[in-house]
Chain A
Amino acid sequence: MKSWNRSTFTLWLLTIFTALPGCDSPDRPLTLTLTGSSTIAPLASEIGKRFERQHPEVRIDVQTGGSSRGIADAQNGLADIGMVSRGLRPEENNLYGFTLARDGIAVITHKDNPVQQLTDQQIIAIYTGQVTNWKEVGGQDAPITVVNKAEGRSTLALFLQHFSLKSQDIAADVIIGDNEQGIKTVAGNPDAIGYVSIGTAEFDAQQSIPIKLLPLGSVPATIENVRKGSFPLSRPLNLVTGTPPEGWVKEFISFAQSAQVHDLIKEQYFVPLEK
């Protein structure tokens, strides 16, 4: 019995060592590391899996940490590719950016809320605390619960930028982290208003979670309008590199931009770009 145990152990050890990545070809490190936006990460990891199947000699390692980390890691060379879910700023022009897809931000309310539309001015008034009751914007007599995103998130940055607001101006009742937390908060509160990634919102609304996507500037908040570029509150999803992409990095980026991954992009409720 004892010898059997020992041989099983050796077998396990062998299996583990041969399964370790990189051991089969020690001459070249073949792991591509992507870090950054948590919005892009699930998509990148799906694209990575498909890429690995076509090129078994390459491994794709995806880590989140936010767009700012994507920028920093690409600049410092800590990652091969950074993921950034916003447009690049002028001071970031030392990076090379490649747009994968687009994403929109939808303003959401509870499904039972009778308010069908809000103007940009009304949204600004609500978020700055000038309007605190739904009856002031055509709804029922109920106090508005303003749901805002936490500091540092690119969704917050995009929202602030679109409405020319400052983080200090916002009078929030609830501050949330990720999109799902925002949707759960609004779904549980008929008087809440929030904003989340349009892909997540449209998916959850179809799953009969009681939320409603409000049109913005009278453009309905749909994936279709983001694709057409007519939805005002949308953003590009970018892959960035610190140096001009070469070799496998270049291969991966052009693969991620090709029509071969459009189905994956749609599955994540993002909007693929037509070349």
Chain B
Amino acid sequence: MSLWRNDKLLAWCLRGCASIAGLIILLIIVFLALEAIPALQQVGASKFFFDRGWHPSPLASEGHFNLAPMLVGTLMATGGAILLATPLGIGAALFCHYYAPPFLARLYRRLIELLAGIPSVIYGLWGLVVLVPLIRQLEPPGPSLLAGILILALMILPTIALLADAALAGLPREYTQGAAALGFSRFSLIWHVALPAAKSGLLTGILLGTMRALGETMAVLMVCGNVVQVPGNIFDPIRTLTANIALEMAYAMGDHRSALFVSGLLLMALVMALIATVEILKPKSSP
């Protein structure tokens, strides 16, 4: 009897916690929207995509509010980083599981965990003083989409590697044993058994990596050059939506400030669209 009562109590506690967590997210969206509404009304939603440029400050006489180049910049930097970090991260996990001797695998895992723990501003500083001058020798000016992609790839690599590692570790032993019994080569085992079976976990890792890349601010702010433009090639500087907020929020007033909340709202919409897409793509059957 008392056990049942405890159960009920716990259930209500957990329900409470869950609704608080949900409420916080809703409140953030409402807050963003409320702060963004003045700009959306004053400036008009279409100007955020078709204006002549981004010059929102009242000091710059007339305001221009085009966020589209920054949206493109964000997507390109994130996409590039994912394309680079996914094979590397999954490769690292596969190496740990199927090829490395145990002591090396353990060392390698600790190393990747360490990589995950380095603060983003350190990556940014390293990018600014080491990576950017290197890229400048290739093609000036140096701060560029490429620098952003490389730094972001480095930052999300541990996320993808660790989650892929966990997904592979979670595979039932019978799968590998069965494959071994059938005389599969190690490569066939990985390609035809392990990767398809761990698909859902791998996808989660990529999704979390994408989120981190989308939301990353400080490192990107330091290495991307922050010029508001659609990049013509990989050596052109870009500005991401997050860098835009970090760069200008402290100094923004009125419509300018409100416009920065519009860029926050856009970022939020991007993240929600991404989650929805993955939810649709995900294999329906439970692993």
Instruction: Enumerate chain A interface residues (CB-CB to B < 8 A).
Output: 38, 64-66, 68-69, 72, 142-143, 145, 150-154, 156-157, 160, 166-168, 172-177, 181, 184-185, 188-189, 191-192
Contacts and interface: CB of A to CB of B under 8 A. Distances in A.
Contact of B128 (A38, A153, A166, A184): A184
Interface string B76-93: 000000000000000000
B250 interface: yes
B91 to A, nearest CB: 32
B248 A152 contact: yes
B250 A38 contact: yes
Given A143-B141, A189-B141, A152 B251 contact: yes
24 contacts: A65-B250, A68-B253, A69-B251, A142-B140, A145-B142, A151-B55, A151-B252, A152-B251, A152-B252, A152-B256, A166-B60, A167-B59, A167-B60, A168-B53, A173-B143, A175-B226, A175-B227, A175-B237, A175-B247, A177-B221, A185-B128, A185-B143, A188-B129, A188-B133
B209 interface: no
A72 B222 CA distance: 29
Q: Which of B53, B60, B136 has the most CB of A within 10 A?
A: B60
A172 to B, nearest CB: 5
B264 interface: no
A191 B142 CA distance: 11
A168 B250 contact: no
Contacts of B53: 168
Nearest to B52: A168
B69 interface: no
B61 A150 contact: no
Contacts of B140: 142-143, 145, 173, 189, 191
Q: Which of B239, B247, B253, B256 has the most CB of A within 10 A?
A: B247
B251 A153 contact: yes
Contacts of A143: 140-141
Contact of B226 (A72, A176, A184): A176
Contacts of B59: 151-152, 156-157, 160, 167
B225 interface: yes
Contacts of B136: 145, 188-189
Contacts of B176: none
Interface of B is mostly: mixed
Given A173-B225, A173-B227, A189-B136, A66 B141 contact: no
Nearest to A192: B141
A72 B250 CA distance: 13
Contact of A181 (B57, B133, B222, B228): B222
Interface in B189-235: 221-222, 225-228
Q: Which of B59, B222, B227, B251 has the most CB of A within 10 A?
A: B251
Contacts of A68: 251-253
Q: Which of A175, A176, A192 has the most CB of B within 10 A?
A: A175
Contact of B247 (A150, A172, A173, A188): A150
Interface of B: 52-57, 59-61, 64, 128-129, 132-133, 136, 140-143, 221-222, 225-228, 237, 239, 246-248, 250-253, 256
A160 B136 CA distance: 27
A106 to B, nearest CB: 21
A172 B238 CA distance: 11
B141 A145 contact: yes
A82 to B, nearest CB: 13
Given A145-B140, A174-B227, A191-B140, A72 B60 contact: no
Q: Which of A151, A156, A173 has the most CB of B within 10 A?
A: A151
Given A151-B256, A189-B133, A66 B143 contact: no
A72 B225 CA distance: 30
Contacts of A153: 251
A151 B225 contact: no
Contacts of A152: 57, 59, 248, 251-253, 256
Nearest to A187: B129
A167 B61 CA distance: 9
Contacts of A191: 140-141
A173 B248 contact: no
Nearest to B132: A188
Contacts of A192: 141
Given A152-B248, A174-B143, A184-B129, 13 more contacts: A64-B250, A68-B253, A143-B140, A145-B142, A166-B61, A167-B57, A167-B60, A168-B60, A168-B64, A174-B141, A177-B221, A181-B222, A184-B128
A129 to B, nearest CB: 12
A68 B60 CA distance: 14
Nearest to A153: B251
Nearest to B64: A168
